[in-house]
Structure 1
Amino acid sequence: MAEIKLANITKRWGSFVGVQSFDLTIEDKEFLVLLGPSGCGKTTTMRMIAGLEDPTEGEIHIGDRVVNDLDPKDRDVAMVFQSYGLYPNMDVYENIRFPLKVRKVEGDHDAMVRRAAEMVELTEFLHRKPAALSGGQRQRVALARAIVRQPQVFLMDEPLSNLDAKLRVSTRAQLKNLSHELQVTTIYVTHDQIEAMTLADRVVVMEKGIVQQVGTPTEIYDNPANTFVASFIGSPAMNLMEGQIEGGVFRCDHVEIGGLDTAHSGPAILGFRAEDAAVAPDGAGQITAPIYSLELLGDAVMVTVRTGGALVAVKADKDYRANIGDPVSFSVPASICHLFDQGSGERLAR
């Protein structure tokens, strides 16, 4: 069993706090994603689990052991880094086999290597050197090298960030399938919210060393805890507008949305997803403003207006046609709206 428990983990360097009071249990066989912008503490958290950094406070449990004082080699974790870390003088076969040799693993190394290579579709490349491989193939060698060890825990630090967009999509699908097949507890660090949404059983959203929200991708997408999470999750990000609520009606420049289920009055931030609203015919919507930009996405047209200093986007049908500067109206039902406190950014109780 490879349940991981982080008990009040804090990491400081002098007065700078890299991770603050991180408290979480990662279930056995769970695929957990640490998500956030650069400098949010996600990689530092992973490095503490791996034993590459020591926590200033708190305890790290892997299975039934407290591992704070264990060396990385004794924690039974395998890491896959952003840089592939392959040995250029060894072929793919020997790169994959290397952890077995170093750890003096007994058994049929050839069968272990070929099974790991088959899982990442590298069987036909086993006798090539890394220099003769593409970026995607090199990343798969790094994955196979981690798989062959059969560790308790996989730790993956932005493994897809060096790949181009097409390769990221195909390798992401491979990772999803591998996770299902291997059933090994995995912690995955990324700044890419699409990777988080597609791969994770649960997502931990972090900012400035502090956990902002923990939940399934659906929970975080549908019910963001604050404006940071709302603006970080989703492509495009959630539309957020500052205004005033009086009697269940939100108002700001070019905007009037009524029927909101809230007792709150005064300043507030209203948010909604681009795909949840629609272009309204004949100016009958709750937002009416000149078109700021139009972007053809293939399956839709993104129509953007400026309201009170904020850019607000709505997805229209792919055959929608208009010009920049034309008036447009958006239909924004109250039921799709999210409300946040204007001061703290926290979600308002409904």
Structure 2
Amino acid sequence: MAQIELRNVGKRWGDFVGVHDFNLTIPDKEFLVLLGPSGCGKTTTMRMIAGLEDASNGDILIDGTVVNGMEPKDRDVAMVFQSYALYPNMNVYENIRFPLKVRGIDPKLHDEKVRRASAMVELDDFLHRKPAELSGGQRQRVALARAIVREPNVFLMDEPLSNLDAKLRVSTRAQIKNLSHELAVTTIYVTHDQIEAMTLADRVVVMEKGVVQQVGNPTEIYDRPANTFVAGFIGNPAMNLIEGQVRAGVFTAPGVEISGLSAPDGAATLGYRAEDASVVEFGGHINAPIYSLELLGDATMVTVRIGQTLVNVRADKSFRAEIGDAVSISVPAGICHMFDGQTGARIEAQDAS
């Protein structure tokens, strides 16, 4: 059982702010993902929870106890890193067993615990091998088993899939998802990959430049991004964002005119998802020449240029055209997201005047 609380937690190095006033409660058994680009503060936040970095300000609580002054070994957390950090001279069995020896667990219990952990990540046939004899995916599973065997209150995972190829990332991601369900342990997972975040998380914390941009479940983050940063970071492809003007409910930009919007007059950024729009024969809201075409198998991604901005639409896989051909894209008001042209903050319909 472990609830984690971060109260005004920050990290500074001189004048540089790595994490700014982070406030969040992570309930017991939640799978929380810290998501953002490189340098956004997500790993620093995790390291402060683990005790590998000292917080410059604020309090970190685990089950109601302030742990700021505690050593990492006393916080009852287990970490899985991007680098597997395995002992090359030990076989898989001994690598998994090592935390039990260090923590003074009764040796009579070691074999049962090691084999239970290895079975969870399907390593039973590899226990005699050394790390050098394993694939990248197998090594990461050893690292997972080594964390599992400790039976900690909290799992901390820092970019655990980054060193794997695309196919292995998918299969290992599914394994982590299944493990989180089976183990039911509070987990904090750091990644820059929004697909990992959307598929694994109970809740996502989107960060940028040390500041929390939005907290919510994957559906909330995807359907109602809090600002243009979140909108442009979440989704594959990311949300299309077009800068323009709103006058009397009509948004205009070069080659773009969309009416029926609930947004105040002035500079605004309009967003829409490629899968929500459609290619039409004529009378669309965006009219521009095709910049590129990508056949995805189940669909064709059509990209056009609006000023200096590239935006796209997901068309049927049977769509046929050439680069340079004129195309018309339907973007109904109902699928549009509106953001303030100055701050980038989301404009809610009821805020319109």
Residue of structure 1 equivalent to 2:41: 41
Within a 5 Å distance, the mapping from 1:142-181 to structure 2 comes to: 142-181=143-182
Describe the superposition over 1:149-192 as per-residue Cα deviations: whole angstroms up to 9, x where unpaired. 00000000000000000000000000000000000000000000
The answer to whether the aligner puts 1:77 opposite 2:85 as a matched pair is no
Q: Which amino acid is 1:272 matched to? A: Y
- How many angstroms apart in 2 are the aligned matches of 1:110 and 1:51? 30
**SS of equivalent to 2:168:** helix
Describe the superposition over 1:169-226 as per-residue Cα deviations: whole angstroms up to 9, x where unpaired. 0000000000000000000000000000000000000000000000000000000000
Please report how far the alpha carbon of residue 319 of structure 1 lies from its aligned counterpart in structure 2 after TM superposition: 1.1
Q: Which amino acid is 2:95 matched to? A: N
**SS of equivalent to 2:197:** helix
Q: Which amino acid is 1:231 matched to? A: G
- How many angstroms apart in 1 are the aligned matches of 2:151 and 2:136? 24
Describe the superposition over 1:283-328 as per-residue Cα deviations: whole angstroms up to 9, x where unpaired. 2211111000000111110000011221110000111110000010
Residue of structure 1 equivalent to 2:137: 136
Please report how far the alpha carbon of residue 4 of structure 1 lies from its aligned counterpart in structure 2 after TM superposition: 0.1
Residue of structure 2 equivalent to 1:86: 86
- How many angstroms apart in 1 are the aligned matches of 2:54 and 2:269? 40
Residue of structure 1 equivalent to 2:233: 232
How many residues are aligned here?
348
Describe the superposition over 1:11-59 as per-residue Cα deviations: whole angstroms up to 9, x where unpaired. 1111110000000000100000000001000000000000000101000
Please report how far the alpha carbon of residue 132 of structure 1 lies from its aligned counterpart in structure 2 after TM superposition: 0.3
What is the Cα-based RMSD across aligned positions, in Å?
0.7
Q: Which amino acid is 1:198 matched to? A: T
Runs of 4+ displaced beyond 4 Å: none
The answer to whether the aligner puts 1:276 opposite 2:276 as a matched pair is yes
Within a 5 Å distance, the mapping from 1:313-324 to structure 2 comes to: 313-324=312-323
TM-score by length of 2: 0.98
- How many angstroms apart in 2 are the aligned matches of 1:143 and 1:95? 11
Residue of structure 2 equivalent to 1:194: 195
Q: Which amino acid is 1:322 matched to? A: A
Q: Which amino acid is 2:314 matched to? A: K
Within a 5 Å distance, the mapping from 1:226-305 to structure 2 comes to: 226-262=227-263, 264-281=264-281, 283-305=282-304
Q: Which runs of 5 or more structure 2 residues have no equivalent in the other structure?
A: none
**SS of equivalent to 1:159:** coil
- How many angstroms apart in 2 are the aligned matches of 1:137 and 1:63? 33
Please report how far the alpha carbon of residue 124 of structure 1 lies from its aligned counterpart in structure 2 after TM superposition: 0.4
**SS of equivalent to 1:108:** helix
- How many angstroms apart in 2 are the aligned matches of 1:137 and 1:5? 33
Q: Which amino acid is 2:10 matched to? A: T
Q: Which runs of 5 or more structure 1 residues have no equivalent in the other structure?
A: none
Q: Point out the more displaced range, 264-273 or 340-349.
A: 340-349
- How many angstroms apart in 2 are the aligned matches of 1:224 and 1:315? 20
The answer to whether the aligner puts 1:31 opposite 2:59 as a matched pair is no
- How many angstroms apart in 1 are the aligned matches of 2:147 and 2:179? 12
% of aligned pairs identical? 75
TM-score by length of 1: 0.99
Please report how far the alpha carbon of residue 108 of structure 1 lies from its aligned counterpart in structure 2 after TM superposition: 1.4
Within a 5 Å distance, the mapping from 1:319-338 to structure 2 comes to: 319-338=318-337
